[in-house]
A and B are shown apart, each in its own frame.
Chain A
Amino acid sequence: MEDDVKKFLYVNRKAPYGTIYALESLEVVLIGAAFDQDVSLAFLDDGVFQLTKSQDTKEIGVKNFSPTFRALGDYEVTKLYVEKESLDERGLTLDDLQEITWEDEDDDYEEKPSIRIVTRAEMADVMADQDVILSF
């Protein structure tokens, strides 16, 4: 890695719809990905709902942007940290989240999972390790 590469963490704490935060965060991530930084995403509190599978927004008249998370691998965003306690508190498990993978070009394009379940304590370490944290 070059010296001018910084570690960016985008922290997502809000449910996907009802406010614009989740969508705005994802758009900033996609735009920021052009700058070749080391980007990670964190999902905690109601933010874990952003990654749930089978989202259907028809009745609320907004676009379902959850499929876009699966494109993150194309943008070299391959680390999606999800806090275990936040899932537990909402009765969710990894099985309730959509499968998000990235292709490792250095490993014969093998598909690898992007979602990493971490405990609250591990999440604190992930945060402590960053240069820049943006909270949504």
Chain B
Amino acid sequence: MEYEVNGTTIEADEEGYITNLGEWTNDLAGVIATAEEIDMTEEHWAVVNFLREYYEEYQIAPAVRVLIKSIKKSLGKEVGNNKYMYELFPYGPAKQACKIAGLPKPTGCI
């Protein structure tokens, strides 16, 4: 599949993860979020930005367990808990947030 952003076509795989990580922009994140039926709030952005920083540092997208633990540490337990994270990203925080963040599907995510 592919996304249209400001007249540019961005390639993605059949599940919607973009092919070239370098093509990611904030605008693209908004387009992917819309396709995922997610209304981006400040908390959504915080998670997406966290994921991008994690990937930048470690070259992997963290497993959901690791993601929630790390978010709890950096943003507090109001955001960093299973229930709230699934409210933000109903189809799985790691899976959906990574897609919006322009990262590959998390390792071990089936």
Contacts and interface: CB of A to CB of B under 8 A. Distances in A.
B66 A67 contact: no
Interface in B55-69: 57-60, 62-63, 65-66, 69
B57 A67 contact: yes
For this complex, into which size category does the number of interface residues on chain A fall? 10 to 19
Nearest to B54: A71
B59 A31 contact: no
Contacts, number: 35
Contact of A74 (B59, B69, B107, B108): B69
B108 A67 contact: no
Contact of A63 (B57, B59, B107): B59
B62 A34 contact: no
Interface string A21-60: 0000001001101100000000000000000000000000
Q: Is the interface of A mostly helix, strand, loop or mixed?
A: helix
A93 interface: no
A136 interface: no
B103 to A, nearest CB: 13
A120 interface: no
21 contacts: A27-B107, A27-B108, A30-B60, A30-B63, A31-B108, A34-B63, A64-B59, A65-B59, A67-B57, A67-B58, A68-B58, A68-B59, A68-B60, A70-B57, A70-B58, A71-B58, A71-B66, A74-B62, A74-B66, A74-B70, A75-B66
